[in-house]
Amino acid sequence: MSKKKVALITGGVGGIGTAISRCLLDDGFTLVANYALAGTEQRWLDSMRDYGCAERAHLAYGDVADYQQMGSMVKQIESDIGPVDVLINCAGITRDSQFRRMQKDDWDAVINVNLNSVFNVTRHVIDGMVERGFGRIVNISSVNGQKGQFGQTNYSAAKAGMLGFTKALAQEVVKKGVTVNAISPGYVNTDLVMSIRTDVRDKILADIPMGRFGKPEEIGKLVSYLVSEHAAYITGATISINGGQYMV
């Protein structure tokens, strides 16, 4: 890498976000992990220190569902660290329920954090990327945004919306040196997945042809490639990484 580039990861302190952080640090990026839940940041900082990259690993607090907060956060990053060259939209939550029992608050919460956040953050970095003639945006969607999932109308809708956003924005900035791609992971071995009730988790595993859950670092390495110069000819793509659970 010719110069130190700055990468921002929303939801960066989670299982997949931490794996992405480590991969981008390996690539020489200066890394900023966004978080919104107090108490989660210390474990991430400790893991970065143990990884030997604490000097290039930074935290940025802010609610991705709040447009104004994200604007202030991005301005602070630009002032303290530098312009954002790479954005990974990784923040996400679940509020699962059959649709006929789903509460409006659960619908709104998932749409706001998983989909509206993509606008809220990207809108504040895209102009700078275009002006500088370089940018990489990777949106972390889900296999359930491709195939749907029982009890996840809110989550599936939000993750599917990310895919449409990716294809549309990619067309708008394709001639400006900015690429926009999406990754749709299947079930990955994170604390969130491992907290699923054992019998439900076993049923999910039985439906994965490869016979295992994904590894967080497998997602991280794919992100690493998509933000590299080697992937400059890839834009508007959705790349599935799900052990064969859903093939398109």
In a domain, 248, yes or no: no
At 174-183, the pLDDT tens digits run 999 999 999 9
Distance CA 116, CA 108 (A): 10
Q: Is 13 left (phi over 0), alpha (psi -120 to 50) or beta?
A: alpha
Phi and psi torsions of 157, nearest 5°: -65, -45
The total number of structural domains that make up the chain: 1
At 105-162, the pLDDT tens digits run 999 999 999 999 999 999 999 999 999 999 999 999 999 999 999 999 999 999 999 9
Residue 137's contacts (CB-CB under 8 Å, 6 or more residues apart) are: 86, 87, 88, 89, 122, 126, 129, 169, 178, 179, 180, 181
pLDDT higher at 39 or 223: 223
Task: Judge contact between 143 and 246, C-beta under 8 A.
Answer: yes
Average pLDDT over residues 74-83: 97
Give SS3 for 113: helix
Q: What is the pLDDT of residue 1?
A: 41
Q: For residue 113, what are its two tokens?
A: 């954090």
Residue 20 sits in a domain of what CATH number?
Answer: 3.40.50.720
Average pLDDT over residues 46-69: 93
Q: What is the pLDDT of residue 3?
A: 60
In a domain, 191, yes or no: yes
DSSP conformation class of 100: G
Three-class secondary structure assignment of 133-187: CCEEEEEECCHHHHHCCCCCHHHHHHHHHHHHHHHHHHHHHHHHCEEEEEEEECC
At 80-104, the pLDDT tens digits run 999 999 999 999 999 999 999 999 9
Phi and psi torsions of 180, nearest 5°: -135, 120
In a domain, 246, yes or no: no
In a domain, 53, yes or no: yes
In a domain, 62, yes or no: yes
Position 38 confidence tier, pLDDT thresholds 50, 70, 90 = confident
Distance CA 28, CA 48 (A): 14
Active site residues: 155
In a domain, 180, yes or no: yes
In a domain, 74, yes or no: yes
Helices 216-226 and 15-26: crossing angle in degrees, nearest 10, is 50
**CA 25-137-35 angle, 5° bins:** 60
Q: What is the pLDDT of residue 39?
A: 84
Distance CA 54, CA 216 (A): 20
At 181-225, the pLDDT tens digits run 999 999 999 988 888 889 989 999 999 999 999 999 999 999 999
- The domain of 176 spans 6-241
Task: Judge contact between 217 and 17, C-beta under 8 A.
Answer: no
Nearest to 65 by CA among 23, 21, 123, 109: 109
How much of the chain is in helix, strand and coil states, percent to nearest 5?
50, 15, 30
Nearest to 85 by CA among 135, 120, 132: 135
Task: Judge contact between 162 and 139, C-beta under 8 A.
Answer: yes
- Does 31 score more than 70 pLDDT? yes
In a domain, 81, yes or no: yes
Residue 10: strand pairing partners: 89
